[in-house]
């Protein structure tokens, strides 16, 4: 792959944050193994028992607040600072490790743990504190309509128009640390490929999507992504 890339798109998942000590979702001791997804990450669950869902995310916030980026996140900053291509980061992660690493052009398609949205007026604000169903929206004053600004199963993704344009324009699509089972993100590689991008998958193991990638690099992202960035900078 010695193409001179003009537009590189990263799609990241929980695996890129694993070496920062954050749990992934679908490994043996993953986030979902202690909870049924249906009980915490669906809009019905939230409407049925908002405080149970609030507690799940209230418990997650302190861990994500203190997490630090690892060499995988930092490698993207290195590439963005030294490669002439447009470089975008589409992440399924709700942590803020890409921001903490200094990455630019970040799109949190599944939302962010430190953002709250009012389901009455749509007001979005940032906080790392606990929220619960008694809290009032500071914009419209309504109580009990605040929700983590996280995309639950059955909800539409954020930034989809922008991401659609990025997928059609990129000439290199790099997936990092995602099992490729959650849609529509799992289908992004297909769109990029259809529009002519080279596709590379960095993961710990083969994923359900692997036939769609031209190249596979298995191993911890903290090691494999810096090596790929070095290769891209040698061919810029």
Q: Which residues are catalytic, by number?
A: 110
- Nearer Cβ to ligand BV8, position 86 or 100? 100
CA distance 176 to 10: 7
- Nearer Cβ to ligand BV8, position 171 or 220? 220
CB 4 to ligand BV8: min, Å: 27
Q: Give the helix/strand (H/E) hosting 89.
A: strand 86-91
Residues 61-80 that bind ligand BV8 (CB under 6 A): none
**Contact, 172 vs 62, CB < 8 A?**
no
**Residue 8: φ, ψ to 5°:** -110, 130
Contact call for residue 183 and ligand BV8 (CB under 6 A): yes
- Nearest in space to 93 (alpha carbons), one of 216, 175, 178, 163: 178
CA distance 62 to 8: 32
Contact call for residue 50 and ligand BV8 (CB under 6 A): no
CA distance 164 to 159: 9
CB 191 to ligand BV8: min, Å: 15
Contact call for residue 19 and ligand BV8 (CB under 6 A): yes
CA distance 205 to 221: 11
CA distance 50 to 132: 8
Q: Which span (22-30, 98-106, 131-139, 158-166) binds ligand BV8, by CB under 6 A? A: 22-30
CB 211 to ligand BV8: min, Å: 15
β partners of residue 146: 118
Q: Which span (100-108, 128-136, 148-156, 167-175) binds ligand BV8, by CB under 6 A? A: 148-156
Pinpoint the alpha helices (H) of the chain: 37-40, 43-48, 50-66, 71-82, 97-100, 160-169, 188-194, 221-234
Contact call for residue 220 and ligand BV8 (CB under 6 A): yes
- Nearer Cβ to ligand BV8, position 103 or 207? 207
CB 105 to ligand BV8: min, Å: 19
- Nearer Cβ to ligand BV8, position 142 or 182? 182
Residues that bind ligand BV8 (CB under 6 A): 13-15, 18-19, 24-27, 30, 41, 92-94, 110, 150-157, 177-179, 181-184, 203-205, 207, 220-221
């Amino acid at each position: 792959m010695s193409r001179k890339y003009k537009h590189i798109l990263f799609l990241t998942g929980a695996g890129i944050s694993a070496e920062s000590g954050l749990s992934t979702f679908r490994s043996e001791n993953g986030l979902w193994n202690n909870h049924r997804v249906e009980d915490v990450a669906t809009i019905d669950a939230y409407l049925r028992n908002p405080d149970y869902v609030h507690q799940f995310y209230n418990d997650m916030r302190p861990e994500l607040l203190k997490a630090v980026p690892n060499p995988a996140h930092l490698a993207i900053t290195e590439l963005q600072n030294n490669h002439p291509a447009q470089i975008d980061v589409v992440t399924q992660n709700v942590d803020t490790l890409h921001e903490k690493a200094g990455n630019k052009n970040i799109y949190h398609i599944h939302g962010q743990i430190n953002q709250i949205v009012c389901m009455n007026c749509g007001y979005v604000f940032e906080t790392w504190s606990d929220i619960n169903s008694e809290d009032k929206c500071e914009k419209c004053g309504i109580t009990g309509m605040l929700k983590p600004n996280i995309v639950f199963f059955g909800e539409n993704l954020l930034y989809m128009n922008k991401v659609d344009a990025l997928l059609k324009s990129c000439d290199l699509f790099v997936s990092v640390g995602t099992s490729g089972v959650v849609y529509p993100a799992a289908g992004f590689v297909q769109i990029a490929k259809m529009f002519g991008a080279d596709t590379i998958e960095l993961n710990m193991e083969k994923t359900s999507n692997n036939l769609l990638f031209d190249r596979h690099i298995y191993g911890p992202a903290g090691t494999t992504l810096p090596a790929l960035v070095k290769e891209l900078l040698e061919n810029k």
